[in-house]
Homo-oligomer: A and B are copies of this chain.
Amino acid sequence: MANDELKQAWKIPEPTLRRLPWYLAFLKLMKGKGETFVSSTQIAKEINVDPSQVAKDLSFVNISGKTRVGYDICALVDVLEDFLGFTAQHKAFLFGVGSLGAALLQDTGLNQYGLEIVAGFDVRKELAGTVVNGIPVFHLDDFPAKQKEFGATIGVITVPVDKAQEVTEQIIAGGIKALWNFTPFRIRVPEHIVVQNTSMYAHLAVMFNRLNSINH
């Protein structure tokens, strides 16, 4: 418990980390329109968040606004992009070049946000040696060798549900530190491994349910 609290103290809250990219998207829009300064009240109004929340969220970032004029937009965009890790390149491997996996290899947007997928892996022999959107696909057996070559820190998991845990363990054994799990399976990992779940199907379920609620 005490250990958990200690952790929380230096950790930026996840809701803050999830809101900061919203602020960033809005700030980039304003920058594009030639605006130079923005107040936390303006951001709050646009994003539909409490102004005190915006100020609190931005207090985690190393920038301060000026009384009356607010934040320098250009500086805030730079600081936020850097803070959120979007300016660094994080090397990643993608596991499972199926429908969703291949789709993610196609998405060049991830690259602009700091995720550089350098290779894909699959157990299907016919996929080994193919290239998707310039990214080479290898057989899963080649992962340890390729990891020595590339030194990826992130693993994107898009394998079938029944392989999720097995592949997770292989990935971690290979030295990958963070897992971006797109499967609806709740993977189990040692404490020092970072897991980010993005279950698109869970989001679909929430949307369907809300949609049915308004129709009844």
Contacts and interface: CB of A to CB of B under 8 A. Distances in A.
B177 A114 contact: no
Contacts of A209: 12, 17, 84-85
Given A184-B25, A209-B84, A212-B85, A204 B161 contact: no
Contacts of A46: 186
A162 B88 CA distance: 24
- Greatest chain B CB density within 10 A among A14, A114, A201 is at A201
A196 to B, nearest CB: 4
A150 interface: no
A188 to B, nearest CB: 7
Contacts of A153: 211
B84 A185 contact: no
Interface string A129-155: 000000000000000000000000110
Interface string A19-31: 0111011101100
Contacts of A1: none
Contact of A113 (B24, B188, B204): B204
Contacts of A161: 25, 28-29
A48 B102 contact: no
A204 B85 contact: yes
28 contacts: A17-B202, A17-B206, A20-B202, A21-B205, A22-B184, A22-B185, A25-B185, A28-B161, A48-B186, A48-B188, A84-B205, A84-B208, A85-B205, A86-B204, A86-B205, A99-B106, A102-B106, A103-B107, A109-B201, A110-B204, A113-B201, A114-B204, A153-B211, A177-B215, A194-B207, A196-B210, A198-B198, A198-B200
